[in-house]
Each structure stands twice: as C-alpha cells, then as structure tokens.
Amino acid sequence: MKNNKTILIASFGAILLLLGACQEAPKKEEPTEPGQEKIAPPEGIISLEESKSLYDNYTKNRIDIIRTFEAERNADEKFVPSRFTSFSYADMEQYMKYVEQEAHEAGVKVASLRIYFANYPDKPDFPDGKKVVHPRQNSIFIVPTTMIDGKEEGFYIGSDGKAKPIKAVVGTTETGEESEPNTSQASFAPAFFQSGSTSLNLNHGNSYPPPFGSDFQ
C-alpha cells in the first residue's frame, strides 16, 4: 500500500514539474501573415546626396530668376520664393483612396499621378471664390490619369459618371489660343464644366519659403 502511495505521489510531482516547465518555456514567434511581407523600395527612391544636389541646383538656377521677376512686378515688396509644398500623410492616404473609389465607380483604372508645377495668382480669390493663401508663390497640383482611347489622359468624372479627359474642357490658354496637343503645359483657364461633374485634382497643400522648415538648408 505504501508503495502505491509513493508511486502516486511521485507521479503527481512529476506532472506538476512538467506543467511548470511548459509554462516557463518561451513562446514561439507567430508566423508572419501573408499580407505582412516586407515592402521593397520603389525604383525612384534617391539618396540624400542626390536630394541635396537637386535642392541646391534649384537654388542656383531658379531662385534668383524668380526674385528678379517678382521684384520687377513689385519693387516695394521683398519676395521670398517658396521651396516646397506639403500635404499631410493622412490627407494623401484619403486622396489616394478617393481617386481609386471614383475611378472604380467610373469603370477605369488609375494609371499614374501627374504633378503639375503651378503659380498662385496675384489676386485675393480664385475664380471659384476660394481665398488665395499664397499670392504669386509657386506650387503644385496633382492630376490622376487613366487610359482613354489608347492614350494616357488626366481625367475627371463627368456628370454621367464616366471618366473624361480634362483637356476636353480646358483646352484654351489665357490668351484664347488653343493648346498644342501632348505639350507639357497645363492650360486650366475657365471653361465649360458641367454641373454634377467631379474634379479629382489636388492642391491647397502647405507651401513654405526658407528658412521655415526646409530640410536641406
């Protein structure tokens, strides 16, 4: 009988030790989910050295030209050219999702995003009534593109819900001359834009001249 009790106690002790060892054992790392693969950098990523070189080239080859031009327009005002335009990361994420949503509903795929150089007017307001926050300063605006009739075109959503080429409604310059096809100029003069149409162009970022926040000075 004593032998049975001894065996029972020994067995119970062994079980407790085994359970304790199991609890103290380090947890195995959870396997990486398929959607969590590391993302490779895009081919367009450039080095900090190249970034600095591009920034300095703009300073050397463009800034003085802009200052001279603006001084001739208004000699009584010191003009400091802007050096960058920024959008919050959250705004850019929302913009990308919005463009994809509108393109999907129109039955097209977004091919690329064109970034046009721009210049704010020397006026208090835009034609649509919005306030001009940075008069005379350079800026950019973003235009999504898609394939229309075999050509990559900047597009908007028409009142019928279909993707339409922007140049179909903004095909004239400020002088009234027709734009040359396939040029690098963006002619966005007031034009016939139907009620119910939707623009997908993005602007109104935050523009700054140095030394307010420049990363390369």
Residues 141-190: tens digit of each pLDDT: 999 999 999 999 999 999 889 999 998 888 655 434 444 444 333 433 33
- For residue 7, what pLDDT band results from cuts at 50, 70 and 90? very low
pLDDT tens for 187-205 read 333 344 456 677 777 777 6
Q: Which token pair is 19?
A: 């359970």
pLDDT, tens digit (0-9, with 9 covering 90-100), for 40-64: 988 898 888 999 999 999 999 999 9
**% of the chain at pLDDT higher than 90:** 34
Averaged pLDDT of the chain = 76
Pairwise CA distance, residues 140 & 79, whole Å:
19
